């Protein structure tokens, strides 16, 4: 019979998640990811002729919204998908797409190789704060025009990887000790989960040399669930949008102006 630690760990899937595919948490995640995709296309004004690099694709197939960019973006032949998992199946699932197995901390591409670089819910899994800055630096290096990053909000009351409330608000050392005591050893390791706030995301961007990023968020019941960082290289930027805020019939999607505070 498996130990309690083994029983908890074995259910961690390739998306670093313990939620069942039919759970409420998973349905909420799918809803929010569609919103993040809409913001990606809108805020970077992604052109049909532009190449897109998606860093951090997964081999996970249980969720309908796994690898949402590959699923939603209509111009599959413009996508290069990168991940440490073997996700070669994406080339068959989405004809025209190119998959490269590689680590986002050391991408095998030239400077400015892709017009747009996208990475969703990956930066919290690359390890230390230094690694998070290095990850952003590498993505910025290979982006010719723009960068779009998402990460779960540390200050949301429910931590969506573990589906546990409030514990992640504790200082990191205390939080990790509690995770180990309740059999969540995998998530107790910084290498596997290092949650970010807007302040730490900003700090990583500064350290990575990403200038003047914009910030946005998607929210549930008025509380941001996911943080977004958007940056463009001035020399290659497209004309700005007429509006700086996305308007929705429901007040669940927020796009703060550049420089708005909060963490």
Indicate the domain borders of the chain. 4-254
| Dist. CA 35–CA 252, nearest whole Å | 10
pLDDT, one tens digit per residue, over 142-179 is 999 999 999 999 999 999 899 999 999 999 999 999 99
- The separation between the first and the last C-alpha atoms of the chain, rounded to the nearest angstrom, is 43
Contact by Cβ (8 Å): 228, 256: no
Kind and range of the H or E run holding 203: helix 198-208
Q: Which of 258, 21, 218, 259 is nearest to 120 (CA)?
A: 218
| Dist. CA 54–CA 149, nearest whole Å | 10
| Lowest pLDDT segment from 191-195, 209-213, 215-219, 252-256 | 252-256
In 117-195, where does DSSP find H-type helix?
A: 129-142, 172-181, 185-188
Residue 37: partners with Cβ closer than 8 Å, 6 or more residues away: 68, 69, 72, 73
Residue 38: partners with Cβ closer than 8 Å, 6 or more residues away: none
User: With bands split at pLDDT 50, 70 and 90, how would you rate the model's confidence at 20?
Assistant: confident
Range 4-254: architecture per CATH = 3-Layer(aba) Sandwich (3.40)
Asked if pLDDT for residue 252 goes beyond 60, the answer is no
């Amino acid at each position: 019979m498996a130990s309690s630690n083994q029983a908890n760990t074995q259910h961690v899937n390739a998306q670093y998640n313990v939620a069942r595919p039919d759970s409420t948490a998973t349905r909420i995640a799918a809803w929010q990811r569609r919103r993040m995709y809409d913001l990606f296309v809108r805020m970077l004004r992604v052109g049909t002729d532009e190449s897109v690099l998606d860093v951090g694709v997964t081999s996970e197939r249980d969720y309908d919204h796994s690898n949402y960019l590959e699923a939603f973006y209509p111009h599959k032949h413009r996508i290069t998908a990168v991940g440490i998992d073997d996700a070669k199946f994406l080339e068959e699932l989405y004809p025209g797409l190119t998959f490269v197995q590689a680590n986002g901390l050391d991408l095998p591409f030239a400077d400015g190789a892709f017009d747009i670089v996208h990475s969703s819910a990956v930066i919290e899994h690359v390890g230390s704060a230094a690694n998070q800055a290095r990850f952003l630096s590498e993505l910025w290096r290979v982006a010719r025009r723009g960068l779009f990053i998402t990460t779960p909000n540390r200050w949301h009351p429910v931590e969506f990887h573990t589906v546990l409330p409030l514990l992640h608000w504790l200082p990191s050392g205390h939080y990790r000790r509690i995770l180990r005591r309740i059999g969540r050893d995998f998530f107790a390791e910084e290498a596997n989960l290092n949650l970010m706030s807007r302040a730490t995301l900003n700090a990583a961007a500064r350290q990575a040399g990403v200038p003047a990023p914009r910030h946005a968020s998607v929210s549930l019941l008025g509380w941001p669930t996911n943080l977004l960082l958007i940056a463009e290289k001035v020399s290659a930027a497209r004309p700005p949008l007429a509006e700086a805020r996305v308007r929705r019939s429901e007040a669940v999607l927020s796009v703060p102006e550049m420089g708005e505070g909060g963490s």
